[in-house]
Amino acid sequence: MSGLAFRDVTLHVAGKKLLGPLSLDLAPGAVVTIMGPSGSGKSSLLAYLCGTLDRAFAATGSAMLDGTDLTGVAPEKRRIGILFQDDLLFPHLSVAGNLAFAIPANAPDRKVLVDAALAEAELDGYGARDPTTLSGGQRARVSLMRALLAEPRAILLDEPFSKLDADLRGKMREFVFAHIRMRKIPCLMVTHDEADAAAAGGYILRL
Rounded distance between C-alpha atoms, residue 178 and residue 172, angstroms: 10
Residue (57 or 203) nearer to another protein, CB: 57
Instruction: Select 23 or 133, whichever has its Cβ closest to another protein.
Output: 133
In this chain, which of 1, 38, 39, 55 binds another protein, going by CB under 8 A? 55
Q: Which of residues 112-151 bind another protein (CB under 8 A)?
A: 130-133, 146-147, 150
Among 3, 20, 41, 81, binds another protein (CB under 8 A): 81
**Does residue 39 sit in helix, strand or coil?**
coil
Among 45, 80, 114, 145, which residue interacts with another protein (rule: CB under 8 A)?
80
Binding of another protein by 52 (CB under 8 A): yes
Using CA atoms, how far apart are residues 61 and 46, in angstroms rounded to an integer?
A: 14
DSSP labels, 11-36: EEETTEEEEEEEEEEE-TT-EEEEE-
Half-sphere exposure of residue 103: CA atoms within 13 angstroms, side-chain side: 17
Rounded Cα distance between 83 and 157, Å, is 5
Is 206 an interacting residue with respect to another protein (CB under 8 A)? no
Q: Which residues bind another protein (CB under 8 A)?
A: 47, 50-52, 54-56, 74-76, 78-82, 84, 86, 88, 90-94, 101-102, 104, 130-133, 146-147, 150, 152
